[in-house]
Amino acid sequence: MEFRDLKRQYQYLKNKMDISVQEVIEKTNFIQGNQVSELETTLADYTGMKHCISCANGTDALQLALMAWNVGPGDAVFVPDFTFFSSGEVVAAVGAVPVFVDVEHDTYNMDCDSLERLVKKTAATGKLVPKVIISVDLFGQPADYKKLKMIASKYQMFVLEDAAQGFGGRIDKRPACTFGDISTTSFFPAKPFGCYGDGGAIFTNHDEWANLLRSYRVHGKGRSKYDNVRIGMNSRLDTLQAAVLLTKFPVFVEEELEWEQNIAKMYTEQLRDYVKTPNVKEGFYSSWAQYTIQLADKVMRDGLQIYLKEHGIPSAVYYPKPMHRQEAFCNNYYDDNDYPVTNRLSEIVLSLPFHPYMREAEIKQVSEIIIEYVKR
Ligand SMILES: Cc1ncc(COP(=O)(O)O)c(C=O)c1O
């Protein structure tokens, strides 16, 4: 069994995919081919955002957004403590300080009480200016933007929505990638909407920021690519990846998202009496980047992972180390007591095999082994 079976997905899309990829190879328009702008238009239309700016990956997407806002030394950027490294890495990369924030126990997204407390605490030191909140839509479920935006406007901060895992999710009818002042996503292959390599995109309604992002993305270009007006990056999306995404897009929105809802429902029905299953808030819709359960303690979690492996079932721990404990951030001071929830989650979470092409028998097999283990 695969954790996320991309081979099965390829078989389903094979006929159309092979034609799309072949077309790029034959035309040799590998960089900035027409598929790139077609994808940007498709995704802007889907989200209803004015600008979609594709780029090389989800990490660059975040960094480019911070560059467009001129975030740098002296600025504090608030980031969930329970997320992939990139969400905090980009802050340090532009010279600002990541201030990690604890998360909600059941949705894994930023906890607004912890956020406000840490914003006040940071401002009170007088050393850093609270500037941006990077809200992560973890495991596919959007963060609680109603509350987050109240805090952002109270303290005059921007919201940067990191929807690397959240593309396809929504709150009521409003889709992910529309909640931030700038929003970003990743097309890493295992993401809900993934390509066949690295890729990312940035969304905003703000014309000036969009122009800056388009410039920073290609070496700070001015009027032409040999007129360089600022220091930027080389962060274009390959034409091949755009072609792959265009081919996947109708299947993703019309079929895969719905199949994933059913798979999550089946898992939850089987497992909810034995382990803590995911909680999707009322009115929220997850794109199920991960299906993550919680065990009673670390011994149970680690034991279950071994037990699953013995039965040929892969699983993963997202994330085994809170951000504030990462050695890369050891130059900043973090109080371990600020992160009781993340500290605990890192010991008890386990993500199960999950993808739109999973069969009912496979879901049953995984569930039965988990139940067997928990009952022992
Ligand atoms: C929450 C989050 N943010 C950012 C990223 C970075 O995306 P990429 O791998 O495309 O650089 C990831 C990818 O794993 C992620 O999960």
Question: CB atoms < 10 A from the CB of 370, how many?
Answer: 25
Per-residue confidence (pLDDT) for residue 224, from 0 to 100: 87
The 10s digit of each residue's pLDDT in 142-161 is 999 999 999 999 999 999 99
- Tens-place pLDDT, residues 253-262: 999 999 999 9
Mean predicted lDDT score pLDDT of the chain? 98
Question: Does residue 319 have a cis bond before it (omega within 30 degrees)?
Answer: yes
CA 91/CA 70 separation, integer angstroms:
11
- Per residue in 111-131, pLDDT (tens digit) is 999 999 999 999 999 999 999
Q: Is the model's pLDDT at 163 over the cut of 90? A: yes
Pocket lining: 185 vs ligand 1, CB cutoff 6 Å: no
| Average pLDDT of the residues in 350-376 | 98
**Residue 365 pLDDT greater than 90, yes or no:** yes
Tell me which of 55, 59, 62, 317 to substitute to probe ligand 1's pocket, judged by most ligand atoms within 8 Å of the beta carbon. Answer: 59
Minimum mean pLDDT among 76-80, 221-225, 312-316: which range?
A: 221-225
Q: Is the CB of 188 under 6 A from ligand 1?
A: yes
User: What distance in angstroms lies between residue 85's CA and the mean position of ligand 1's atoms?
Assistant: 8
DSSP state of 316: B
Rounded Cα gap, residues 201 and 161, in angstroms: 12
- Whether 161 lines ligand 1, by a CB cut-off of 6 Å, is no
Q: Is the pTM of this model over 0.95?
A: yes
Percent above pLDDT 70 for the chain? 100
- The minimum-distance atom of ligand 1 relative to the CA of 186 is 10
Task: Give the pLDDT of residue 275.
Answer: 98
What's the average model confidence in pLDDT over 287-303? 98
Residue 145, pLDDT score: 98
The answer, yes or no, to whether any atom of ligand 1 lies below 6 A from the CB of 82, is: no
pLDDT at 226: 93
Pocket test of ligand 1: the residue of 4, 84, 160, 193 to mutate, having most ligand atoms within 8 Å of its CB, is 84
Mean per-residue pLDDT, 177-186: 98
Q: Is the CB of 294 under 6 A from ligand 1?
A: no
Q: Which two tokens stand for residue 204?
A: 């905003």
Looking at ligand 1, which atom is closest to the CA of residue 136? 1
Question: CA 176 to CA 140: how far, in whole Å?
Answer: 9
Distance 84 CA to ligand 1 centre (A): 6
What is the pLDDT averaged over residues 45-68?
Answer: 98
Q: What CATH number labels 6-101+108-247?
A: 3.40.640.10
Query: For residue 208, what pLDDT is reported?
Result: 98
**What are the extents of the domains in the chain?**
6-101+108-247, 250-375
User: Looking at domain 250-375, which of 3.40.50.80, 2.40.70.10, 3.40.50.740, 3.90.1150.10 is its CATH number?
Assistant: 3.90.1150.10
Report the separation in Å between the CA atom of 126 and the middle of ligand 1, taken as the mean of its atom positions: 32
The runs of H, that is alpha helices, within the chain are: 6-27, 34-47, 58-68, 86-93, 112-125, 145-154, 207-217, 239-251, 257-271, 298-310, 340-348, 360-375
- Residue 225, pLDDT > 90, answer no
Q: What's the 148 CA to ligand 1 centre distance in angstroms?
A: 21
